Structure 1
Amino acid sequence: MSRSKIGVVFDSSAYAPKPLEHTRVVELRVNKGDRSYKELTEIDWDEFYKDLREKKNIPTTSAAPIEEVRSAINELLDEGNDNVIGIWLSKHFSVTFEEAKMLESEFNGRFIALDTKLVAAGPYRMILEALKAIDLGWSLDEVVNHVIEVRDAYQTIFLASIEHLAKGGRIGKAQALAGNLLHFQPLLFVDDGMVNSYKVVRGRKAAIKEMPQFMIKNFGHEQLFLDIVWSDNFDEVSVLEQFLEENGMKRQDVLRLGPVIGTHLGPDLLALFGVPTKVML
């Protein structure tokens, strides 16, 4: 069966490590002072995290202009695609999905916007799955339903900066101070697109060791697609890999978290994304 005439547009927070055919990427923005920067092409990520760690020029973030989303959709349609699927980061992190959703009526059913309810490795895997289904000649509805099935099967756990969690209001300042003094590490998970507290563990390495256990708790010993995401702490990736191996697990990819989501979750971010292989193509 020949490839379906379906294009895919997605936002930069999927942090795809390489260009993908039949797609367009819409870049989210990091705002510093009175200037706005595209996170993939206009920011040095190492310098960004260095400044963030040193608390220099704490930025804000924003969605891409709606005109860029519209232009990306039109480009894919002009290339001969009958339809375009938009795969966007969780609406709880950005208005990107909601703004894209408003374009559906403008394209008279030729464009569909999907909320992945995740960021980074989750959306990245969903994009790859959509492209596989498109290459197999699946219909628009079949592709959309498959992406939703993958999305709803995901589990994510991560470690984030205590200071950034306090700034974002997820924990109180007193908790943050006590956590820093006692070396407590908050583990969080994503449920229906929202960040929730899982448990607090004393010591960074002990917290990382808990991450494979979270997957076992949710999936038992099912075979999983596992991806690791880091921000400015690549040395901890091997620590997590070791704990995965001890539990008979192996990761697929290692992706770096970019500046937009990094602004909100801070330095020292380490995340593990898991989905059963049985729902993947």
Structure 2
Amino acid sequence: MSVQIIADSASDLPMQFYKEHNVQFVPLQVLLDGETYQDLQTISPKQVYDALREGKAPKTSQVSPEYFLKVFTDIAKQNKQAVYIAFSSELSGTFQTAVMVRNQVKEEYPDCDIEIVDSKCASLGYGLVVQHASQLANDNASKETILDAVEFHAKHMEHLFTVDNLEYLARGGRISKASAFVGGLLNIKPLLHVEDGKLIPLEKIRGKKKLLKRVIELMHERGIDIKNQTLAISHGDDEETALEWKQAIQEEFGATDFVINSIGAAIGAHVGPGTMALFFLNELPPQE
């Protein structure tokens, strides 16, 4: 591999992906019951969702500077080129910390060649960007080619998601305009998306069936050539609903290429159990 890809646990890709595709993993941190855990390494998403159901309030923090320092120093010592694709800077301080640590490493290793990209994406929307970059890296693409592809895919990645309870997002300050969603009408499902890296409420919909129907409508409005894309669905400990979404999308568009995975502990602590999220491109790269 000519370029080392680095990604953090907010991409919600399984650990197996990192191992199989030679992507360097860096974990965000989860604080629960007075202990600090490394997302996906020392705590599972299931543990976080169970804690939330029990009324506990797990907190999260960015990738530690010490973790970045070790990873970046190892890359600098090996004279590798690297691209770290980071979780949206609007949702975490991880991007800013990575830049700070990279600059620190460059003081000792002036030739350190690590590019840090703010994906402005989250969960498997971010994961799809990482997945595409890793494919290019494994095909020995140049760093410039990878950076161009990352920029394009991140810019054109649609995020549509719903949460069972906005309380988790509001508590962590992860959404704006939350006041528009105050109220507890029975079976109301808030639909949100991402604008410039921020989580923005779109509308309120009554019932799961109407919600899924609206999601498919938005795929028609925003997506392009859905049938031939890799689509991603992430869920908050609710694989059954994720598979229902997959089936409905398959029937509507004829799509066959899906990535489905649980939302990890770092994001799951803020969105809560029952969250559903869908990711697709609103434009395809010219070469595709």
Specify if TM > 0.5: yes
Question: Structure 2 residue aligned with 1:9, among 6, 11, 17?
Answer: 6
Q: Residue type matched to 1:98 in 2? A: Q
CA deviations on 1:75-98 (whole Å, 9 max, x unpaired) are 3344x4531111111011110001
Deviating beyond 6 angstroms after TM superposition, the runs of 4 or more aligned structure 1 residues are: none
Q: Percent identity?
A: 24
1:277 is displaced (CA, Å) by: 8.0
Return the alpha-carbon distance in structure 1 between the equivalents of residues 45 and 4 of structure 2.
29
Match of 2:272 in 1: 266
Match of 1:58 in 2: 57
Question: Structure 2 residue aligned with 1:140, among 138, 143, 167?
Answer: 143
CA deviations on 1:93-126 (whole Å, 9 max, x unpaired) are 1100011112343334511111111122122222
Question: Structure 1 residue aligned with 2:230, among 221, 225, 232?
Answer: 225
C-alpha contact 1:7 1:81 (8 A) present in aligned 2: no
Return the alpha-carbon distance in structure 2 between the equivalents of residues 135 and 220 of structure 1.
27
SS in 1 for 2:63: coil
Q: Residue type matched to 2:80 in 1? A: D
Q: TM-score, normalised by structure 2?
A: 0.86
C-alpha contact 2:46 2:237 (8 A) present in aligned 1: yes
C-alpha contact 1:26 1:69 (8 A) present in aligned 2: yes
Return the alpha-carbon distance in structure 2 between the equivalents of residues 175 and 252 of structure 1.
31
More deviation in 268-277 or 140-149? 268-277
More deviation in 252-261 or 65-74? 65-74
SS in 2 for 1:93: coil
Q: Residue type matched to 2:244 in 1? A: V
> 1:113-124 residue pairs with structure 2 within 5 A?
113-124=116-127
Return the alpha-carbon distance in structure 2 between the equivalents of residues 136 and 175 of structure 1.
46
- Give structure 2 stretches of 5+ with no counterpart: none
Residue 130 (1) aligns with residue 118 (2): no
Distance 1:254-1:247 versus aligned 2 partners, 3 A rule: same
1:228 is displaced (CA, Å) by: 0.5
Q: Residue type matched to 2:195 in 1? A: D
SS in 2 for 1:268: coil
- Give structure 1 stretches of 5+ with no counterpart: none
1:278 is displaced (CA, Å) by: 3.6
